[in-house]
A and B are shown apart, each in its own frame.
Chain A
Amino acid sequence: MSGKVIKYERDNIDTDVIIPGQYLKIHDYDELARHAMEGMDPEFHSRHGSYILAGKNFGCGSSREHAPIALSHSGIKAVLALSFARIFYRNAVDGAFLLPIEIDEDAYGAISDGNEIDVDVGTGTIRDITAGKEYKMHPFPDMISKIIEAGGLFRYRPE
C-alpha cells in the first residue's frame, strides 16, 4: 500500500491533540474524522496523507479509541513512529483501524514530509518511493501480528 507521508517531527503527540475531548460525544466516524488532528494541525486534511510519521510515545494520554478511529477515517492507513503509547497501540490494532508501525531513527530522520512511500507488512519494508530508499520496520509482536492478520480482536481465534 503506497501513499503520501505527513511528518510531525515531535514526540509525545497526545490523544487530546489527535481528537480533542469535546468531540468524544460524536458517534459518526466520518464526522469525527473531520476533527482529526485539530488540536495541532488545522491543515491536516488538506495534506491528503495516507501515513503519519512521528517521534516517540505517539498516542500518549487518554484511552479514547476515537483517536485511531478519527485518523483511519481520515484516510490514514498507518502511523510510523519511534514508539507508541500502549493503549493507543492496542486500540489501533484491536479495532483494526490502522497499523501502528515502529521504526528506527534512520527512517524517521530520512523520510521527508510529503514523500510517497510504500509499506509492505509482509516483508517488513518501508520503501521511500520519492527518495528511492528502503527501511526495515520493527516486526509486530507475535500476538499483535495474529490480531492484525485476523482483522481485529473480535475476529481473532486463539490456537
Chain B
Amino acid sequence: MASTLFEKIWDSHTVTDEGGSSLLYVDRHLVHEVTSPQAFEGLRLGGRGVRRPDLTVATMDHNVPTSNRSLPMADQTSEAQMRALERNCDEFGIRLFGMGSPNQGIVHVIGPQLGITLPGTVIACGDSHTSTHGAFGALALGIGTSDVEHVLASQTLWLERPKTLEVMVSGVRQNPRAVTAKDVMLMIIRRMGTGGGAGSVIEYRGKGMTDLSMEQRMTVCNMSIEAGARAGMMAPDEKTFEYLRGREFTPKNYESLVGEWRELRTDRDAEFDGTFELDIGGMAPQVSWGTSPEMTCDVTEDVPDPGEFAAGDESRLRAAQRALKYMDLEPGTPIREIDIDRVFIGSCTNARLEDLKEAADVVRGQKTAPGVRAMVVPGSQMVKRQAEQMGLDSVFEDAGFEWRESGCSMCLGMNPDILGPGERCASTSNRNFEGRQGAGGRTHLASPVMAAAAAIHGRFVDARELV
C-alpha cells in the first residue's frame, strides 16, 4: 500500500499498538538541563536505569550564560540546574556536551551539526522545537518531562497516531537573499493559523521547499510547532546526504545508509489527511506585529485593524485588540515606522552559520542606529568558531553588535539576556508571546537579514532594498 514518509517511519518504529496509540521506538534522545532533572530523579526513585545511554546525548543550552564563561556564574539557580545535569549524566553514563565543551550549543543546532540527527529516525527531546530535526526526514517529537523519563527508562514513547498534513509550497522566491526561509515559514503560519497543524505531522513538499538548503529547511521545520503541529518533516534528498557526510557522529556505514535513505519519501499514490497550498512567488519579507506568530504581515504593510484581522471571529478580535495594547501599536502604523530598541540574532530557529552570514552581509561596514542594542548569539560553539574563521565576529563587533557565547539566550529569557519592560525587539527567534523575552518585553519576529537591517536603521526596512 502506498504510504507517506511519516507513515513509513511511524510503522517501522511501532513496537506495539493499543487503542489508537503506538509504543514508538526512539532512535535518538536529546537531553538538556531544564526539562530533565525531575526525569532523572524519577528514575532514581523508581530504581530504574537509562535503557540506552549510548543513544542519549545531553547538552546545556537554555540557561547557560552567553557572556564571559571564565567568570563564576551570577545566577545560582541556573548553576545548580547545570551541575545537576552533570551529575545525572555522570551517574547514568550519558555523553554530555557541557558548558566548556567545543560541541556545546542549542540542542537542535548541535544534533544535526554532529551527525546525530539522521533520516528515518525517531528523535525525542524535552523541548517543543525538536521538530527542527524533521528537516532530515526524521520524525522528531517534542515531549515533556514525564515522557523524557519514559524514554530514558524504556527508549520508547506512547503516542496517539497523528494525522498527516501536506504543506505544498510552490513558486520561486524573487530575491531569495531578502526573502528567506524564515519569511516563508512566517507566511505559512500566518495563512494556516497557529491551530492549522493541530493533531498533525506536517510534510513540507514542493519546489519552494526542495530549493532550500539544509539549514533553511531546519528553520522551516523548527516552527512547525508554532503552526500547532506535532512535528514537521521533509523527505531527505542529495542535499541531506551531502550535509551528513563525514560529520563526527555520522555512522561509519554511511554509504550503505544513503541507499536506504533514498527510499524515505512519500509514495506517489499515498494520501494525506489534509493539504495546505502556498505560492511564494513575489512574497515580501515578513514581520510579526502581535503576540502570536500568526499575527504577521508584509514589511510593506501597516499594522492591521483588529476587525480586519479577525474577519468576523470574536475571539480573534479580542486577541488582536489585546495584542496591540500589549505591543503598544496603533492600527494603520506602517511596519517600517516602528522604532526598535533591541535586536536579537539567535535561537534554534535562526542561529546557524548561513543565518549569521546573511545578517553580516547587511551589517558589514555599517553602524547600529543610536540607542539600539544588538546582540548575536551563535547557535553553537561550532557555529561560533566557523563564523570567527570567516571574520563575522569582527563584522558584527565593528558595527556595534555584541558577539556572544552560544545558547538559547533571549529567545526565552531564562538567562540574564532579557528585554526590559516596554523594550521593543526585532528577534530572529520563534515566539512573540507576551513576556516571552522578559516581562513586558515586545517581540517582533523576523529573519536574520531583516533583524540585522533593523539594527542598522533603528526601524524595520524592506530587506529587498538592501540585498
Contact = CB atoms under 8 A, between A and B. Distances in A.
A116 interface: no
B434 A158 contact: no
Contacts of A39: 433-435, 439
A123 interface: no
Given A24-B414, A63-B127, A143-B158, A56 B315 contact: yes
A141 interface: yes
Point out which of A10, A62, A156 has the most chain B C-beta atoms below 10 A from its C-beta: A62
Interface string B52-68: 00000000001100000
B431 A143 contact: no
A67 B435 CA distance: 15
A114 interface: no
A152 interface: yes
A11 B315 contact: yes
Contact of A62 (B46, B81, B292, B412): B412
Contacts of A27: 37-38
Interface string B139-178: 0001111110110000000101000000000000000000
A72 B238 CA distance: 48
B72 interface: no
B126 interface: yes
B142 A17 contact: no
A91 B414 contact: no
A141 B46 contact: no
B273 to A, nearest CB: 15
Contacts, number: 147
B20 interface: yes
A128 interface: no
B199 interface: yes
B144 A141 contact: no
Interface string A46-70: 0000000001110011111100000
A17 B62 CA distance: 18
Point out which of B150, B194, B319 has the most chain A C-beta atoms below 10 A from its C-beta: B194
B146 A17 contact: no
Contacts of B16: 158
A143 B318 CA distance: 36
Contacts of A10: 315, 318-319, 322
Contact count band on A? 35 or more
A75 interface: no
B78 interface: yes
Contact count band on B? 35 or more
Interface in A34-93: 39-40, 55-57, 60-65, 83, 85-88, 90-91
Interface in B406-427: 412-414, 418
A67 to B, nearest CB: 9
A20 B419 CA distance: 13
A158 B315 contact: no
Interface string A1-37: 0000000011110101100111011110000000000
Given A90-B144, A158-B23, A55 B414 contact: no
B435 A20 contact: yes
Given A10-B315, A16-B434, A17-B435, A63 B144 contact: yes
Given A56-B315, A83-B198, A90 B143 contact: yes
Contacts of B142: 63, 87
Nearest to A17: B434
B304 interface: no
B21 A95 contact: no
Contacts of A86: 198-199, 230
A34 B147 CA distance: 25
B307 interface: no
B436 interface: yes
Contact of A65 (B145, B292, B434): B145
Contact of B436 (A16, A83, A95, A159): A16
A105 to B, nearest CB: 10
Nearest to A142: B19
A25 B77 contact: yes
Contact of B126 (A63, A83, A88): A63
B34 interface: yes
Contacts of A94: 144, 146-147, 150
Contacts of A158: 16, 18, 23
16 contacts: A10-B319, A10-B322, A21-B413, A24-B34, A25-B34, A25-B77, A56-B315, A83-B198, A85-B198, A87-B142, A87-B144, A91-B147, A94-B144, A144-B160, A154-B150, A158-B16
Given A11-B316, A25-B81, 12 more contacts: A11-B319, A20-B439, A25-B63, A39-B435, A39-B439, A60-B228, A61-B433, A85-B228, A90-B144, A90-B147, A94-B150, A153-B146
